[in-house]
Amino acid sequence: MRALLLIVFAVLFAPGAAAACAAPQRALVLVYHGLGPHRPYWVEPERFEADILYLLRRGYHTVSLRQIEGYALHGDRLPEKPVLLTFDDGVESVYRYALPITERYKVPSVLFMIGSRIGRPGHLSAAQLREMQRSGLWSIEAHTYDMHRYVRGVRGYAAQMVNPRPLEAPADRAEAIRQDTASEAKAFCRAGIPQPTAFAFPFGKHDGPAIALLHAAYPVLFDSRPALARPREFLLPRLDATAAPLPKLLEAYGG
């Protein structure tokens, strides 16, 4: 009996045993859209800066997309209280306001760009995207080429990526997603920025076939489930940073 107790004690208190028994590390991923007044899903630049300061003062450590990729794909450890900042769509106000704020505080960030809107009025130009990439803080990633819309299908109006059109076979929808992914890659090439390795679903909407198709093209995917990210899960949830003041949001999700 004594020998058995010694064995149990040795296993429980061996180096690394506590880490092995610990709960998986969670990561906070926040999503913004534009910075400015009076638009849905936008926040004032002052609030975005206040959010960063609040996170830093609360002991959060901002991490890069590459760190999150290692965490999502291989279970790599992150700093304590990790947080990743992301922006969707690629509106011009991100360059005007978010870029200088992130440079001021040395905060890594991710921009998920709609490829067909590069250079369009109100959206980022290729030159602006290259400047953000050269900062060393921003990763420019994929948000479809031209499937960021609601369309009418057999389920009524829904996100195009997960909404079959009338008389559309599953193979047709799969081919449409593949073509859109190829067009996104060409848009990034024309803009002179690196090919994306991560993808954010428009409106956070997806289904099994869409997940499989997009994961074949991008190692890491993001949606809009209100939850904290877990290691070794390639589909990562994000909290909408515009849904509530950041202190309330963090309180609701254990921050």
Q: How far apart are CA 29 and CA 134, in angstroms?
A: 23
Least confident interval from 19-23, 159-163, 211-215? 19-23
CB 113 within 8 A of CB 139: no
**DSSP secondary structure, 195-243, as one string:** PP-EEE-GGG---HHHHHHHHHH-SEEE---SS-B-TT-SEE--EETTS
- pLDDT, tens digit, 9 for 90 and up, residues 43-61: 999 999 999 999 999 999 9
**Strand (E) or helix (H) holding 41:** none
The residues, any chain, with a CB within 8 Å of residue 233's CB and separated by 6 or more, are 72
Q: What number of other Cβ atoms are within 10 A of residue 195's Cβ?
A: 13
- pLDDT, tens digit, 9 for 90 and up, residues 81-109: 999 999 999 999 999 999 999 999 999 99
This model's pTM is above 0.85: yes
- pLDDT, tens digit, 9 for 90 and up, residues 161-175: 888 887 678 899 999
Domains present along the chain, CATH in parentheses: 24-252 (3.20.20.370)
- pLDDT, tens digit, 9 for 90 and up, residues 213-251: 999 999 999 999 999 999 999 999 999 999 999 999 999
Q: What is the pLDDT of residue 166?
A: 79
Q: How far apart are CA 84 and CA 33, in angstroms?
A: 14
